[in-house]
Amino acid sequence: MIDFSTAPELELLRDTAARFASDHLRGNAREHESARGVTDAAARAWRDTGLGLLEFPGENGGAGLGALARVLVNEELGAADPGATLALDSSATGLYVSAIHPAQRVVVVCDLESRLTVAGGRLSGSLPWVPADEPAVVAVLSREGAAVAGAPKVLEILRGSGLRAAGASAVNLDGVEVLSQWSDRAAAATALARVRLYTASLLLGVMREACEYSRAYAVDRVVFGRPVAHHQGMAFMIADMAMAVEACRLLLHEAAWKLDRGDSDAAAVCARAFVEACEQSMFVTPSALQLLGGHGFMQDHPVEKFMREARTLSLMAGGVDAARDDGGAALVEAARVEVARTGGS
């Protein structure tokens, strides 16, 4: 039976995330960005929420929750500061790849084009950017499986385009020892789906915040004798932005719901939601900046940051083209077998 309501326990979880985001992230976003990390107070408050153990299994002290919980929480965190979220929630995506310790700073690299190699128990290759200054663990997720390695050699600390609160560095992996490794295409596809969902739900939060901030500004700011938002060209853009956010949210919730159920098409549906989030974020966040005009370009307002965060997030999780490949391949494969000429479900 179709039901869009959220279970009360998930609502509580979302409220917790929203409260933490308001109390510790949103107001400190610029400070976290320039510090390349979060304040100690924010880190302590984060630990107190227990959100860092959201998906970790119960025997490891985690909450053992699933993808839908993740999407609801990440929308709230992403809305406040996705970079700080990556810094705080340091091992969340690592969990999708391996039984990683919750406190470790893990960088998951979705290496879908075999840029890195594993031979003789060691990695080789380099990465022009990872969202951390000094990652303790690099987990390389490929189409075939995963390899978890120790700390890479940091070649350069980078400014980073977006997500600066997470830190940024160029790393070399030559000779880094592989600590654990597995091969399983199906498991790799599921892990990739989870990483995509994690990233896309942060993007959703960024989009929502960009929408709301620019909407409020456009109602307040008067140009040519009336609020910016009351010029129809702007009003329609605001409507389209809100529509994009809601459509994206529904696709993400559907993907999470399918992932939690273990549906056979869950990975393809996650890829679809990721592509939507990436595409729409590049409509929503530049439009938000546009609504503020010159002010939007200045760092006095957060919309320029929203745009940078969105662009950077949508480069992660193996990139949008790989996700487009996966969604399209599933569709085309189904068509080859038989075009579904029956309907609704």
Partner 1 sequence: MDLELDRQSRDRVTMLAALGRDTLRPLGLEADRLGRPIPADHEFFASLVELGQGRTRWRPGHGSGGRESGQEAGRTGGTLAMICAVEEMSYWDRGVAVAFPGPGMGEAAIMGMGTEDQKQRFLGPFVEPDRPRWGSFAMTEPGAGSDTSAISTSCRRDGDDWILNGAKMFIGNASRADWIMVWATVDRKQGRGGHRAFVVEKGTPGLGNFKIEKKMGLKAYESTSFTLEDCCVPAANLLGGEQYYQSREGTRGALRTFNAMRPMVAAMAVGMGRAAQDEALIFARDNGLLDRTRVRDRFERIDRRLAAARLLAWKAAWLADKQLPNITEASMAKALAPAVALEAASLGMELLGETGARGDHLVEKLFRDAKAMDIVEGTGQVQRVIIARQLVDLPRS
Residues that bind partner 1 (CB under 8 A): 1-7, 68, 215, 218-219, 227, 229-230, 232, 235-236, 238-240, 242-243, 246-248, 250-251, 253-254, 257-258, 269, 272, 275-276, 324, 327-329, 331-332, 335-336, 339-345
DSSP character at residue 160:
-
Complex with partner 1: residue 33 or 75, whichever CB lies closer: 75
**How far is CA 342 from each of CA 14, 72, 258, 338, 339, rounded to the nearest angstrom?**
38, 33, 21, 11, 9
**How far is CA 108 from each of CA 42, 52, 148, 330, 338, rounded to the nearest angstrom?**
23, 16, 9, 25, 37
Complex with partner 1: residue 315 or 330, whichever CB lies closer: 330
Shortest distance (Å) from residue 212 CB to partner 1: 10
Shortest distance (Å) from residue 213 CB to partner 1: 13
Shortest distance (Å) from residue 242 CB to partner 1: 6
State both tokens at 167.
Answer: 């830190």
Shortest distance (Å) from residue 151 CB to partner 1: 38
Strand-pair partners of 180: 148
Complex with partner 1: residue 186 or 339, whichever CB lies closer: 339
Complex with partner 1: residue 11 or 156, whichever CB lies closer: 11
Contact criterion met (CB below 8 Å) for 149 and 140: yes
> First-to-last CA distance in the chain?
12
Shortest distance (Å) from residue 226 CB to partner 1: 8
Contact criterion met (CB below 8 Å) for 323 and 196: yes
Complex with partner 1: residue 157 or 219, whichever CB lies closer: 219
Complex with partner 1: residue 191 or 237, whichever CB lies closer: 237
Shortest distance (Å) from residue 149 CB to partner 1: 33
Contact criterion met (CB below 8 Å) for 25 and 46: no
Strand-pair partners of 170: 156
- CA 116 vs. chain centroid, Å, equals 23
